[in-house]
């Protein structure tokens, strides 16, 4: 943005150590990351670069890498994990070895742009409890084409605890008085690229060292920062490119799902209070995954007197996919057919289905919220024409075609805009719920019930 180019930053900004962890990274992308840090960071702010090798199995990442970085004009250290540990514990090792006032974490396939660092460090200098992320530009993994990332999206997450980008809401635009060069307060960070005051990183409990390989640590640190008194921002004048890879080039020992579910359970158990149920009932089977001992993380939350997750939802993420208030969470059952609404694992813009109730959560989990939306994860039931099929669209929070009125006596779900009732099917397709003129038939009666949570909870 033009207005970023003329911003003036204080000259005595803090120094930063740049910590880059890697496992089996390609030479070219790793070294491009290192060189772009050196070439595009003011020397007086760059304390050192620390490369943490998470037990890579490629020879060129051993002595050849050490010999190469010795010749660079900035101190670059290579430290190694004794065994494959994952990015969380590798970053912890890099952080422990760092000397700068600030730690900047980068993935091993990034390219820093001119002027990337000053805006990040300036925010931390202004308030050491501010944790900052650059805008992440997209480097194509097919062509290495470089594309600017958007300043109009921020970090969120869905019921499955996947990190997702969502549009920056109007309230955040208003808070910045429309000035897009001012930092965006973001509910979550993507995870790979951020700067944090080194002492503050210690104070708020670094990372959860019980998490393995990859995943969940970004939501964990995001919740922790907000709930424990910090601030998390995307600094829109700072841009760093990142190669988004379609497939993970490395193994997940023990299974990808198993590891990510374990990490997610740890963060849900420590930080999300009763709202963890959204995660648990939409992900059948996850409650069987052993998440180990979380007592020291729970103790940390106690010690720091962190706020509840409901506070976070209300104050930091009011447009969250997880509703702060809701009437029901679970199946929605048709009285006549005894079948349940089912998202059939379909995607945005597709029709919602109806199927035999299985009581296993997953695709049959809907929440009727206090805002009178019927949501399944980050999609809302929406109808745009009379007698039309019910589709699943991104929730827009504007009521309109996503506003439903449940009558707990008549058991009807009235689509307010059309003044029609949710019916088990359309005229010609028995698999597609629709809206029809309200007629009091049992095909228009629905039971909103909580799925019983697995006993292991
Ligand atoms: N990484 C690591 N050990 C692992 C998995 C990942 O050191 O077991 C590194 C990886 O090389 C990268 C960073 O952690 O520098 C983030 O991983 P990745 O880029 O695969 O995550 P993504 O950007 O796809 O979320
Ligand atoms: Mn990456």
Using one digit for the tens of pLDDT, what is the confidence trace for 16-39? Answer: 999 999 999 999 999 999 999 999
Q: Is the pTM of this model over 0.85?
A: yes
Question: Which among 18, 20, 21, 249 is the best mutation to test ligand 1's pocket, defined by most ligand atoms within 8 Å of the CB?
Answer: 21
> How would residue 431 be classed by pLDDT, with cut points 50, 70 and 90?
confident
Q: Cα–Cα distance between 367 and 118 in angstroms, integer?
A: 44
Q: What is the pLDDT averaged over residues 144-149?
A: 97
Distance of CA 408 to the CA centre of its chain: 35
Flag whether pLDDT at 451 surpasses 80: no
Helical pair 217-227 and 256-271, crossing angle rounded to 10 deg: 10
- Ligand 1 centre to CA of 253 (Å) is 14
Going by alpha carbons, the residue nearest to atom 7 of ligand 1 is 22
Strands (E), 82-148: 102-106, 110-112, 130-139, 146-147
SS3 416: coil
Instruction: Supply the pLDDT for residue 450.
Output: 65
Tokens describing residue 144? 């290495």
Distance of CA 378 to the CA centre of its chain: 13
Instruction: Supply the pLDDT for residue 284.
Output: 80
Q: Which atom of ligand 1 is nearest to the CA of 248?
A: 20
- Ligand 2 centre to CA of 391 (Å) is 34
- Strands 153-157 and 163-167 come out as antiparallel
- Ligand 2 centre to CA of 26 (Å) is 12
- Ligand 1 centre to CA of 87 (Å) is 6
SS3 287: helix
Going by alpha carbons, the residue nearest to atom 25 of ligand 1 is 192
Structure confidence by residue, pLDDT tens digits, 73-128: 999 999 999 999 999 999 999 999 999 999 999 999 999 999 999 999 999 999 99
Look up residue 298 and give its DSSP letter.
H
Instruction: Supply the pLDDT for residue 457.
Output: 35
What one-character-per-residue DSSP string does 46-72 give? EEEEEEEE-S---GGGTHHHHHHHHTS
Q: Which atom of ligand 1 is nearest to the CA of 106?
A: 15
- Ligand 2 centre to CA of 6 (Å) is 31
Minimum-distance ligand to the CA of 83? 1
Q: Is the CB of 259 under 6 A from ligand 1?
A: no
Question: Which among 37, 57, 189, 192 is the best mutation to test ligand 1's pocket, defined by most ligand atoms within 8 Å of the CB?
Answer: 192
Flag whether pLDDT at 208 surpasses 90: yes
Q: Where are the alpha helices (DSSP H) in 391-434?
A: none
On whether the CB atoms of residues 45 and 124 are closer than 8 A, the answer is no
- For residues 443 and 430, the model is more confident at 443
- Ligand 2 centre to CA of 215 (Å) is 11
Q: Is the CB of 23 under 6 A from ligand 1?
A: yes
Structure confidence by residue, pLDDT tens digits, 287-314: 999 999 999 999 999 999 999 999 999 9
Q: Cα–Cα distance between 143 and 147 in angstroms, integer?
A: 11
Tokens describing residue 387? 């007698």
- Which whole-number Å values give the CA distances from 433 to 339, 381, 430, in the listed order? 11, 11, 8
**How many percent of the chain have pLDDT more than 90?**
93
- Residue 415, H or E segment: strand 412-415
- Ligand 2 centre to CA of 37 (Å) is 16
Q: Is the CB of 89 under 6 A from ligand 1?
A: no
- Ligand 2 centre to CA of 22 (Å) is 9
Q: Is the CB of 22 under 6 A from ligand 1?
A: yes
Residue 311, burial from CB neighbour count under 10 angstroms (0-12, 13-18, 19+): middle
Look up residue 285 and give its DSSP letter.
T
Structure confidence by residue, pLDDT tens digits, 373-427: 999 999 999 999 999 999 999 999 899 999 999 999 999 999 999 999 999 987 7
Classify 86 in phi/psi space as left (phi over 0), alpha (psi -120 to 50) or beta: left
Q: Is the CB of 342 under 6 A from ligand 1?
A: no
Q: Is the CB of 87 under 6 A from ligand 1?
A: yes
Instruction: Supply the pLDDT for residue 79.
Output: 98
Q: Is the CB of 214 under 6 A from ligand 1?
A: yes
- Ligand 1 centre to CA of 99 (Å) is 23
Q: Cα–Cα distance between 198 and 100 in angstroms, integer?
A: 7
Q: Which atom of ligand 1 is nearest to the CA of 84?
A: 8
Strands (E), 37-186: 46-53, 76-80, 102-106, 110-112, 130-139, 146-147, 153-157, 163-167, 184-185
Matching residue, tokens 């049959």: 364
Instruction: Supply the pLDDT for residue 456.
Output: 36
Q: Cα–Cα distance between 71 and 79 in angstroms, integer?
A: 17
Structure confidence by residue, pLDDT tens digits, 238-251: 999 999 999 888 99
On whether the CB atoms of residues 192 and 107 are closer than 8 A, the answer is yes
């Amino acid at each position: 943005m033009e207005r970023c180019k003329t911003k003036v930053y204080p000259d005595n900004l803090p120094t930063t150590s740049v910590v880059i962890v890697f496992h089996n990274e390609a030479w070219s992308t790793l070294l491009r990351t290192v060189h772009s840090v050196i070439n595009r960071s003011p020397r007086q702010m760059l304390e050192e670069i620390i490369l943490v090798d998470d037990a890579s199995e490629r020879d060129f990442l051993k002595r050849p890498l050490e010999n190469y970085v010795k010749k660079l004009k900035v101190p670059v250290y290579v430290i190694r994990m004794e065994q494959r540990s994952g990015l969380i514990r590798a970053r912890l090792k890099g952080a422990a070895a760092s000397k700068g006032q600030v730690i900047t974490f980068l993935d091993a396939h990034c390219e820093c742009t001119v002027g990337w660092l000053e805006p990040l460090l300036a925010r931390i200098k202004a308030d050491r409890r501010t944790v900052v992320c650059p805008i992440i530009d997209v480097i194509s993994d097919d062509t290495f084409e470089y594309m600017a990332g958007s300043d109009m999206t921020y970090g969120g997450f869905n019921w499955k605890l996947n990190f997702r980008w969502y549009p920056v809401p109007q309230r955040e635009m208003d808070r910045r008085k429309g000035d897009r060069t001012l930092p965006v307060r973001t509910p979550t960070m993507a995870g790979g690229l951020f700067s944090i005051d080194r002492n503050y990183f210690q104070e708020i409990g670094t990372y959860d060292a019980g998490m393995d390989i990859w995943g969940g640590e970004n939501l964990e640190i995001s919740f922790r920062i907000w709930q424990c008194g910090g601030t998390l921002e995307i600094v829109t004048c700072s841009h760093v490119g990142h190669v988004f890879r379609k497939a993970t080039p490395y193994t997940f020992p023990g299974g990808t799902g198993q590891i990510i579910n374990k990490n997610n359970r740890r963060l849900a158990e420590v930080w999300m209070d009763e709202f963890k149920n959204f995660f648990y009932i939409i992900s059948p089977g996850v409650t069987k995954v052993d998440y180990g001992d979380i007592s020291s993380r729970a103790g940390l939350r106690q010690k720091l007197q962190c706020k509840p997750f409901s506070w976070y939802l209300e104050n930091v993420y009011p447009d969250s996919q997880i509703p702060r208030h809701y009437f029901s969470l679970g199946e929605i059952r048709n009285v006549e057919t005894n079948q349940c609404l089912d998202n059939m694992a379909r995607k945005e813009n597709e029709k919602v289905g109806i199927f035999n109730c299985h009581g296993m959560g997953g695709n049959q989990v809907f929440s009727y919220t206090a805002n009178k939306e019927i949501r399944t994860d980050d999609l809302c039931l929406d109808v745009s024409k009379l007698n039309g099929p019910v589709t699943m669209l991104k929730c827009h929070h504007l009521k309109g075609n996503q506003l439903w009125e449940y009558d707990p006596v008549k058991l009807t779900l009235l689509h307010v805009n059309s003044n029609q009732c949710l019916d088990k099917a359309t005229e010609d397709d028995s698999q597609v719920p629709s809206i029809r003129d309200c007629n009091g038939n049992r095909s228009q009666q629905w039971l909103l019930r909580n799925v019983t949570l697995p006993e292991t909870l």
